[in-house]
């Protein structure tokens, strides 16, 4: 079997869903599990609706729900024509449930993480319903399977962790029989449930992770990530117009890139694929004939080669200085215990025996973290920072590469430099407003000149 994941822009309207249908049909003999995201913008809209309800702005929230319903109705009607009525009725039933949840939030005046997950799940539930019905209409024998019947997570709402063992068992029970019958399975990315059936989500962009997990647990031959660009590019195309497609990259390169902000892949996607050695292919659903990027275990280790430039915005720097010098021993451990306790990922760190500078981007817990740290250290907080990083297997064993990278970054104040443990990324923390110029300069230095030379 294979997994085919379609992101929000790949299912955003009727023409996109028609393209998806053609793409799936070509691979129908490979037993596809089709994992879909919410239509582009819908998850954001649902979270905005939850926020409006929590603020008591019920009229605005209600209008937004109606708009969402109309958008889905419109797509269903465009795809199914006169036979759309049953789907429109199912959309209505779902939207009624959504309205009840939103009303609940309004009554409480607070959107708990649990209700945010329940509300956010409607995007994928609506898109998958329409896609499944259209497949059937187009004679693709499909079965719609609710992800909550197999994707089992802990109860950490808005960032739930899947339980691989339980999920595997459930997949075998609910999903494999449909594949065995030769049916195309359609399911939702992003959403999941706890053991007791409470709806959770895997975090923003989590459909990639859903796809990768299903693929890994069912030993797929391939995991396809269909999106709106020609694959993984040498930089974010919204910043660097000249960004080029990367044909092949290693699992490690892709993981580092995803981790450092290349939104095209969810950071954890690669992990399940790596452990099972399943190739991941990133392709453009608008241009399915373009080869895309193939990510496999085998590294393409070209000395000096930089594969891509990435950045992560919204970074906060914490400088933590021990207030008790005699505690220097064990200080690092105490600091990291605090981050661990708040489940906060530290993206980069620099340390001496009495001070640590840590870069984090999850500011949800910032207050609690600094309060805890201040019980044994002094803490300075700097907001609006970013990490810009360069990734490539070729960074290992290339003398002088760090100097070249920093040189290419140009005149800029760098707060911190970090080389990843994997030695295939070199990143630095700087002011957020420096992202675009620095990313462009790095791209120009490592890709554009090379291209010019090749052309010459």
Interacting residue ranges for ligand ADP, rule: CB under 6 A:
7-10, 37, 205, 227-229, 232-233, 235-238, 262-264, 308
Contacts with ligand ASP in 189-208 (CB under 6 A)?
A: 189-190, 204-208
Q: 136 vs 204, which CB is nearer to ligand ASP? A: 204
- CB neighbours (10 Å) of residue 131? 27
Q: For residue 175, give Cα distances in angstroms to 91, 124, 169, 196, 211.
A: 24, 18, 10, 19, 13
Least CB distance to ligand ASP at residue 435 (A): 21
Contacts with ligand ASP in 312-351 (CB under 6 A)?
A: none
Q: Pick the closest to residue 311 from 422, 198, 387 (CA basis).
A: 387
DSSP 336-352: HHHHHHTT--EEEEEE-
Residues 6 or more apart in contact with residue 170 via CB below 8 angstroms: 149, 150, 151, 152
Q: Is 267 near Mg ion (CB under 5 A)?
A: no
Least CB distance to ligand ADP at residue 50 (A): 20
By residue count, the chain amounts to 456
For residues 310 and 236, the answer to whether their CB atoms sit within 8 Å is yes
32, 61, 123, 205: residue in contact with Mg ion (rule CB under 5 A): 205
Q: 44 vs 398, which CB is nearer to ligand ADP? A: 44
Here's the x/- map for ligand ASP, 11-50, by CB under 6 A: it reads as --------------------------xx----x-------
# residues contacting ligand ASP (CB under 6 A): 13
What is the spatial distance between Cα 448 and Cα 8, in angstroms, rounded to a whole number?
31
Q: 135 vs 190, which CB is nearer to ligand ASP? A: 190
Q: For residue 414, give Cα distances in angstroms to 285, 410, 429, 445.
A: 38, 10, 6, 18
Kindly list the strands in the beta sheet with 199-201, ordered across the sheet, starting from the edge strand earlier in the chain.
Answer: 152-153, 191-194, 199-201
Task: Identify what 189 binds: Mg ion, ligand ADP, ligand ASP, none; CB under 5 to 8 Å per kind.
Answer: ligand ASP
For residues 216 and 157, the answer to whether their CB atoms sit within 8 Å is no
Q: Which stretch binds Mg ion (CB under 5 A): 6-14, 75-83, 342-350, 358-366?
A: 6-14
What is the spatial distance between Cα 171 and Cα 454, in angstroms, rounded to a whole number?
49
Q: 105 vs 116, which CB is nearer to ligand ASP? A: 116
What is the spatial distance between Cα 407 and Cα 425, in angstroms, rounded to a whole number?
16
Q: 205 vs 392, which CB is nearer to Mg ion? A: 205
Task: Identify what 236 binds: ligand ADP, ligand ASP, Mg ion, none; CB under 5 to 8 Å per kind.
Answer: ligand ADP
Task: Identify what 43 binds: ligand ASP, Mg ion, ligand ADP, none; CB under 5 to 8 Å per kind.
Answer: ligand ASP
* Alpha helical stretches, state H, 55-155: 58-80, 85-108, 113-137
Q: Pick the closest to residue 201 from 170, 155, 168, 169 (CA basis).
A: 155
Q: Which stretch binds Mg ion (CB under 5 A): 7-15, 94-102, 145-153, 444-452?
A: 7-15
Q: Is 123 near ligand ASP (CB under 6 A)?
A: yes
What is the spatial distance between Cα 392 and Cα 382, in angstroms, rounded to a whole number?
29
DSSP 231-291: SSBSS-TTT-TT--B--EEEHHHHHHHHHTT-TTS-TTTHHHHHHHT--EEEEETTSTTS-
Q: Is 215 near ligand ASP (CB under 6 A)?
A: no
Q: 101 vs 424, which CB is nearer to ligand ADP? A: 424
Q: 162 vs 267, which CB is nearer to ligand ADP? A: 267
Q: 199 vs 227, which CB is nearer to Mg ion? A: 227
Q: 31 vs 308, which CB is nearer to ligand ADP? A: 308
Least CB distance to ligand ADP at residue 3 (A): 14
Binding stretches for ligand ASP (CB under 6 A) = 7-8, 37-38, 43, 123, 189-190, 204-208
Which chain residues interact with Mg ion by CB under 5 A? 7, 205
């Amino acid at each position: 079997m294979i997994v085919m994941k379609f992101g929000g822009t790949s299912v955003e309207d009727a023409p996109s869903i028609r393209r998806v249908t053609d793409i799936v049909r070509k691979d129908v003999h490979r037993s596809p599990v089709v994992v879909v995201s919410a239509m582009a913008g819908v998850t954001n809209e649902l979270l905005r609706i939850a926020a409006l309800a929590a603020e008591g702005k019920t009229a605005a929230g209600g209008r937004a729900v109606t708009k969402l319903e109309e958008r889905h109705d419109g797509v269903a009607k465009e795809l199914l024509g006169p036979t759309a009525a049953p789907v429109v009725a199912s959309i209505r039933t779902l939207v009624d449930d959504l309205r009840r949840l939103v009303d609940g939030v309004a009554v409480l005046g607070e959107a708990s993480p649990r209700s945010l997950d329940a509300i956010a799940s409607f995007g994928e539930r609506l898109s998958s319903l329409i896609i499944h019905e259209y497949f059937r209409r187009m004679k693709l024998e499909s079965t719609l399977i609710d992800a909550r019947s197999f994707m089992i997570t802990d109860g950490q709402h808005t960032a739930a962790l899947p339980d691989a063992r339980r999920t595997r068992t459930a997949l075998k029970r609910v999903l494999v029989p449909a594949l065995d019958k030769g049916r195309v399975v359609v399911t939702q990315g992003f959403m999941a449930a706890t053991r007791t059936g409470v709806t959770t989500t895997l975090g923003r962009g989590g459909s990639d992770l859903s796809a990768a997990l299903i693929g890994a647990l069912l030993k797929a031959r391939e995991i396809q990530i269909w999106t709106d660009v020609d694959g993984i590019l040498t930089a974010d195309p919204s910043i660097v117009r000249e960004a080029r497609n990367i044909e092949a990259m290693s699992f490690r390169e892709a993981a580092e890139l995803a981790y450092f902000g290349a939104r095209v892949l969810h950071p954890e996607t690669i992990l399940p694929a790596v452990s099972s050695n399943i190739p991941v292919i990133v392709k453009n659903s608008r241009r399915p004939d373009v080869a895309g990027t193939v990510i496999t275990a085998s590294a393409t280790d070209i000395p000096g080669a930089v594969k891509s430039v990435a950045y992560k915005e919204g970074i906060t720097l914490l400088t933590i200085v021990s207030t008790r010098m005699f505690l220097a021993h064990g200080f690092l451990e105490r600091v990291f215990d605090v981050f661990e306790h708040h489940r906060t990922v530290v993206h980069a760190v620099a340390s001496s025996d009495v001070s640590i500078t840590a870069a984090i981007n999850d500011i949800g817990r910032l207050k609690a973290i600094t309060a805890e740290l201040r019980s044994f250290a002094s803490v300075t907080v700097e907001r609006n920072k970013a990490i810009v990083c360069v990734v490539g297997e070729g960074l290992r064993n290339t003398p002088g590469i760090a100097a070249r990278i920093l040189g290419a970054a140009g005149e800029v104040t760098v707060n911190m430099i970090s080389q990843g443990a994997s030695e295939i990324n070199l990143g630095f923390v700087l002011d957020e407003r420096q992202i675009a110029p620095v990313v462009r300069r790095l791209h120009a230095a490592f890709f554009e000149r090379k291209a010019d030379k090749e052309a010459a």
